A = this chain, B = another copy of it.
């Protein structure tokens, strides 16, 4: 952001067409989805010609792929960095601290109203109806974060078998994404009455519930019912 020279006064016009198209595509693809977004929607939002998409990106599908990759690598790397910071702390975080920071790590890139919702929407869409080459979403974006989170939880949490740790991370992620989606839906409808809690209070509930759940999992391990899976 700060890297641009201050020659031009208008920040939008400092970006070249390539970047303006990418920005418009991020907004529109996230907002309305791939099919509901026409190339002309994008180019008119970007203030350029229809042909520019094909000149700069080689087609609508290629633009979508580049859009998705540019957004999601940003999201992933930011999360991985925050997770790395957390786990590098000199006294290892307590379980409470870990769960709370985990929520921040997962949500912080998503709650920024500019790009946050776009992230969530485009990932959600990709989960239901993938438009990317198969496996890209899972292997490049979901699994790395999943792996690190599971390892981190296993380190700070109570004694948990690997599978239980993974399931606990899934439980936490599910809670966070669902409450965020619900928040967006309710905000759109102006129904602030349905979930009368501030973000702080919602976070407190999440930590409370999840820490309780993790302890319960540690006290009652899954493994005993598993006949030592061949691996």
Q: Would you call B197 and A167 a contact (CB within 8 A)?
A: yes
A208 lies within 8 A of chain B by Cβ: yes
Inter-chain CA distance A137–B196, complex, in Å, is 20
Say which residue of B33, B164, B166, B204 sits within 8 Å of A222 (CB atoms).
Answer: B204
Give how many copies assemble into the complex.
2
| Total chain A interface residues with beta-carbon distance under 8 A | 65
Q: What is the minimal beta-carbon distance from A205 to any residue of chain B, in angstroms? A: 4
A178-201: CB near B (< 8 Å → 1, else 0) gives 110110111011010011110001
Which residues of A are at the interface with B, using a C-beta cutoff of 8 A? 31-36, 121, 124-125, 127-130, 134-135, 137-138, 143, 163-164, 166-168, 170-171, 173-179, 181-182, 184-186, 188-189, 191, 194-197, 201-202, 204-206, 208-217, 219-220, 222, 225-226, 229
